[in-house]
């Protein structure tokens, strides 16, 4: 994110050129900075949330973003040709720092899970409850879970024990087991991915075609669910990482 000192310089320069938008820019900066949103690179969801909360028009913000864009790039300095080529190819630049994900509080996590309850059967809803169960799993591991990784005998009545590939062994609370059962009922057809020895690899979380879900597909589904929750949660769903949700006790859900 751009430094506060440079933002103040940009805002002063902008308001001297567009004095009619001075209050609008000040309001935009005071809204973005406490939320950890870059005022020069806001996501579309952040802009929508800001306009809903403040009832501001689009012209002041559009003028600010259009005017500040070349000055933003100038402040960052020239980018190496190799880095530009890798960025256009969709690959990460070596040594580049990724923007950290904002962690949802326990209250926000519970509100997001209540929104997921309204999407029972969807693989993203199951993934959200698994992420809230422990902070030691990733979306990639959730996608690799097979039916054979579930042990019904060890969990007891209404509970499941899940062996996460290259991850922990989880005793799933009843609410998570119910979501797993709802997903299997909503997506009954599953394609066998492969057979290793005598073990049939049938994916637990499936797409509509019966194939294994992907981290990208789960991420998109989680963002759709987050968009139906409160605005503060939807804004923070730009990147899902381990620890993005606060681990909550789902035994009392």
The answer to whether 180 and 126 are in contact (CB under 8 A) is yes
Determine the pLDDT at residue 142.
92
The answer to whether 238 and 35 are in contact (CB under 8 A) is no
Residue numbers in the chain where pLDDT is lower than 50: 1, 75-84, 86-88, 90, 92-100, 155
- Map tokens 């567009």 to a residue: 18
Determine the pLDDT at residue 182.
94
Residues 42 and 164 in one domain: no
Range of the domain at 173: 106-252
Determine the pLDDT at residue 193.
63
Residues 40 and 159 in one domain: no
Domain count, the chain: 2
Residues 130 and 215 in one domain: yes
* Measured distance CA(222)–CA(122) in Å, rounded: 10
């Amino acid at each position: 994110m751009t430094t506060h000192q440079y933002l103040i310089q940009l805002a002063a320069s902008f308001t001297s050129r567009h004095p009619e938008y001075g209050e609008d820019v000040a309001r935009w900066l005071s809204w973005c900075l406490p939320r950890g949103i870059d005022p020069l690179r806001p996501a579309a969801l952040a802009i929508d949330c800001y306009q809903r909360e403040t009832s501001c028009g689009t012209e002041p913000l559009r003028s600010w973003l259009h005017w500040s864009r070349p000055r933003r790039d100038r402040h960052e300095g020239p980018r190496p040709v190799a880095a530009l080529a890798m960025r256009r190819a969709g690959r990460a630049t070596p040594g580049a720092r990724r923007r950290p994900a904002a962690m949802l509080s326990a209250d926000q996590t519970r509100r997001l899970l209540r929104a997921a309850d309204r999407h029972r059967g969807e693989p993203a809803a199951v993934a959200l409850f698994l992420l809230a169960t422990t902070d030691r799993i990733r979306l990639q591991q959730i996608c690799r879970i097979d039916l054979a990784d579930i042990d019904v005998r060890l969990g007891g009545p209404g509970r499941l024990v899940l062996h996460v590939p290259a991850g922990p062994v989880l005793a799933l609370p009843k609410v998570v087991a119910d979501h797993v059962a709802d997903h299997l009922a909503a997506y009954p057809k599953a394609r066998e991915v492969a057979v290793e020895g005598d073990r049939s690899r049938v994916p637990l979380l499936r797409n509509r075609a019966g194939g294994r879900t992907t981290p990208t597909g789960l991420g998109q589904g989680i963002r759709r669910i987050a968009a139906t929750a409160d605005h503060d949660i939807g804004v923070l769903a730009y990147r899902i990482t381990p620890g993005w949700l606060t681990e909550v006790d789902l035994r009392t859900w």
